[in-house]
Amino acid sequence: MECKSEGHRMHMCELRKRGDMDTFNALSINAMVECDNCGAKAANPENVCNPLELPDIKDVGDAEEIKP
């Protein structure tokens, strides 16, 4: 899906494409969303083209139920 956002220059995919890894890394701290297009994770949905909310870590569990 093509992104038509005016703020696309600050989206994770563009930052990575430009090689701006300092900004990319800073914006991915405490990620709350993942881009459904490229998989990049960001703290703010405004920094990805097609945001999907990441599950809350407390909802994921510790896999205790699958341990032998």
- Residues 6 or more apart from 28 whose CB is under 8 A from it? 12, 40, 41, 42, 43
Given a cut of 80, whether residue 67 has pLDDT beyond it is no
pLDDT tens track for 11-66: 999 999 999 999 999 999 999 999 999 999 999 999 999 999 998 766 555 556 65
Instruction: Give residue 6's pLDDT band: very low, low, confident or very high (50, 70, 90).
Output: confident
Residue 62 has a pLDDT of 59
